[in-house]
């Protein structure tokens, strides 16, 4: 139907003077945008297929390519933007729910960018991390309310099992299936080398990766895919996924086309069958049910592993977190509404949930008001973009952060937000062997290590500037933060003063 015609969003601009027709663009584009015209001996392109992933741009040896947003436009209308109009055409044509990938791209406030960090001047010295020890080791887990001593009066280690992180950063849940084997291997090896953890997501644990178990968080989600005794025992911690920031309140759906080979085996479902995770856990309809699952998992692993409960940041997050803190969970993970996903209904991704900064601040404060902040550790994720975001998150009250989008970017993701197509040109969100191969785990692992190491250096520099030489002294230290351009209510929720105060 002509109504359904949408002019391509991006245009491939090829500088004919620079193009040497080496055809690397053609060979590397899984969307088949580029092709060679032997008659005229020149490269051509069909931009209607372009997703703007930059694979061709990055590999072009002569910088002959760039992708630009088209200037083709609908009549300007503040309410009826081109996106709004185009989405209506698409839905009127298909009758379907719109799907999107990666985090919420809409223009909501980004509170990280309205928070500034303190530094020492005169009254107290800053500390140079190149000269003095600067500590970023973090322990996650519940803390008992009292010490214990043996008959001889010696302190008894009465701490329940927890996690020890050398850096306050973990890789958050991404399933094998939603991302490739090589992406998982890169994450697993990097987590091991960095002394931190990666997370299996709801896809089970490939048998090749059991060796990284001491640095693996195994997830139990509503579909229970890939969950069995050896799986639970393989990880250092078990995460119950109640929700995800990109799509709070709904489940997941990995199409049968991706359930092939090892993925089917790892998830323990037949090849070609859709992997549908229900919206709720059907054994958890309330908080007391959650408590039962927490203790079932602890029972199954002989109380040797901490249990994490992951929720999406929603309106009532503080009360929910308080309930979870009393449910036997050792760690609460909160995922903000800008968190990524392999696929989510567009409307949900863009309209459901709340910013992680506000969720974190209110959860931390609520748990303190109730005197139970020490019963759990808080891990937050969903839009941690750099080390300053981490410093701000920890000062607001987080123990550590989860990163996923940043980790994928380190692996080569260019945020084209087309994961759901399964044709990831960077070998990340795909299961096609010829594409998966594009991510060499030797390269991927090193890049992840580089990223986290670089961030850790920056965290240390910022801590040193504040005169803080151990990260626990930053946790919840909101006096180290000031808001800029925020209203009274926002400052009140964040629990920080305005700059200048």
List residues near other proteins by CB under 8 A. Answer: 17-20, 22-24, 27-28, 41, 58-59, 61-62, 64, 120, 122-125, 127, 132-133, 135, 137, 139, 143-144, 146-147, 149, 154-155, 157, 159, 162, 368, 371, 373-374, 397, 433-434, 437-440, 442-443, 466-470, 472-480
Q: Which is nearer to other proteins, 1 or 16 (CB)?
A: 16
Structure tokens at 29: 């584009």
Q: Is 424 annotated as a binding residue?
A: no
Q: What angle do CA 255, 286, 363 make, to 5 degrees?
A: 90
Q: Provide DSSP, 286-320.
A: SHHHHHHHHHHHHHHTTT-S-EEEEEE--TTHHHH
Q: Is 25 annotated as a binding residue?
A: yes
Query: Closest distance between other proteins and the C-beta of residue 66, in Å?
Result: 15
Q: Which is nearer to other proteins, 24 or 363 (CB)?
A: 24
d(CA 300, CA 218) in angstroms, rounded, equals: 14
Query: Closest distance between other proteins and the C-beta of residue 132, in Å?
Result: 6
Q: Which residue has the tokens 């006096």?
A: 479
Q: Which is nearer to other proteins, 158 or 211 (CB)?
A: 158
Say how many residues make up the chain.
Answer: 501
Query: Closest distance between other proteins and the C-beta of residue 312, in Å?
Result: 25
Q: Which is nearer to other proteins, 340 or 412 (CB)?
A: 412
Q: Provide DSSP, 135-155.
A: B--EEES---SS-EE-TTSPE
CA 420, 424, 426, 431 torsion-angle sign:
positive
Q: Is 53 annotated as a binding residue?
A: yes
Residue 27 in 3-state DSSP?
helix
Query: Closest distance between other proteins and the C-beta of residue 493, in Å?
Result: 15
Q: Which is nearer to other proteins, 312 or 363 (CB)?
A: 363
Q: For residue 179, how many C-alpha atoms fall within 13 Å in the half-sphere facing its CB?
A: 32
Q: Which is nearer to other proteins, 419 or 474 (CB)?
A: 474
Q: What are phi and psi of 229, to 5 degrees?
A: -60, -45
d(CA 175, CA 180) in angstroms, rounded, equals: 9
Name the residue among 482, 461, 463, 465 with its Cα closest to residue 396. 482
Q: Which is nearer to other proteins, 218 or 429 (CB)?
A: 429
Per the rule left: phi > 0, alpha: psi between -120 and 50, beta: everything else, 457 is alpha
Q: Is 29 annotated as a binding residue?
A: yes
Query: Closest distance between other proteins and the C-beta of residue 314, in Å?
Result: 24
Query: Closest distance between other proteins and the C-beta of residue 409, in Å?
Result: 17
d(CA 82, CA 434) in angstroms, rounded, equals: 35
Name the residue among 461, 398, 466, 396 with its Cα closest to residue 118. 466
Query: Closest distance between other proteins and the C-beta of residue 11, in Å?
Result: 22
**Binding-site annotation: residue ranges:** 19, 22, 25, 29, 50, 53, 56, 60
**Binding-site annotation: residue ranges for [4Fe-4S] cluster:** 19, 22, 25, 29, 50, 53, 56, 60
């Amino acid at each position: 139907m002509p109504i359904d015609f949408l002019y391509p969003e991006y245009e491939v601009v090829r500088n004919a003077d620079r193009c040497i027709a080496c055809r690397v663009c053609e060979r590397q584009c899984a969307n088949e945008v580029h092709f060679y015209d032997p008659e005229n001996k020149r490269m051509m392109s069909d931009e209607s297929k372009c997703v703007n992933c930059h694979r061709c741009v990055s590999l072009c040896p002569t910088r002959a390519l760039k992708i630009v947003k088209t200037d083709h436009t609908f009549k300007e209308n503040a309410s009826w933007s081109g996106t709004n109009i185009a989405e209506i055409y698409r839905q009127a044509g298909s009758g379907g729910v719109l799907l999107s990938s990666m985090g919420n791209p809409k223009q909501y406030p980004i509170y990280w960018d309205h928070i500034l960090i303190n530094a020492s001047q005169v009254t107290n010295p800053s500390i140079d991390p190149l000269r003095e020890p600067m500590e970023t080791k973090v322990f996650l887990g519940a803390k008992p309310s009292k010490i214990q001593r043996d008959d001889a009066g010696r302190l008894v280690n009465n701490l329940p099992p927890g996690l020890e992180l050398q850096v306050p950063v973990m890789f958050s849940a991404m399933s094998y299936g939603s991302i490739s084997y090589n992406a998982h291997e890169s994450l697993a090896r990097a987590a091991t080398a960095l002394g931190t953890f990666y997370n299996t997501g709801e896809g089970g644990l490939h048998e090749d990766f059991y060796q990284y178990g001491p640095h693996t968080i195994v997830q139990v989600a509503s579909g229970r895919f890939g969950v069995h005794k050896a799986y639970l025992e393989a990880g250092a911690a078990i995460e119950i996924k109640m929700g995800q920031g990109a799509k709070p309140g709904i489940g997941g759906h990995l199409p049968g086309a991706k359930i092939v080979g090892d993925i089917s085996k790892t998830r323990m479902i037949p090849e070609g069958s859709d992997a549908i995770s229900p919206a709720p856990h059907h054994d958890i309809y309330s908080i007391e049910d959650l408590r039962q699952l927490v203790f079932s998992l602890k029972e199954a692993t002989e109380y040797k592993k901490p249990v994490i409960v992951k929720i999406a940041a929603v309106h009532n997050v503080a009360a929910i977190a308080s309930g979870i803190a009393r449910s036997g969970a050792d760690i609460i993970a909160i995922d903000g509404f800008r968190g990524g996903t392999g696929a989510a209904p567009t409307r949900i991704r863009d309209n459901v949930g709340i910013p992680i900064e506000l969720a974190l601040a209110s959860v931390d404060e609520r748990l303190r008001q109730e005197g139970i902040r020490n019963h759990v550790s808080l891990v937050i994720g969903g839009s941690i973009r750099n080390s300053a975001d981490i410093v701000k998150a920890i000062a607001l009250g987080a123990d550590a952060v989860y990163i996923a989008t940043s980790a994928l970017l380190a692996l080569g993701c260019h945020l084209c937000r087309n994961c759901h197509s399964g044709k990831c040109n960077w070998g990340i969100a795909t299961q096609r062997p010829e594409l998966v191969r594009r991510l060499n785990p030797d390269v991927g692992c090193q890049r992840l290590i580089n990223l986290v190491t670089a961030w850790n250096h920056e965290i240390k520099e910022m801590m040193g500037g504040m005169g803080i030489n151990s990260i626990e002294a930053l946790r919840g230290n909101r006096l180290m933060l000031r808001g800029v351009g925020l209203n009274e209510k926002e400052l009140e929720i964040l629990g920080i003063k305005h700059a200048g105060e």
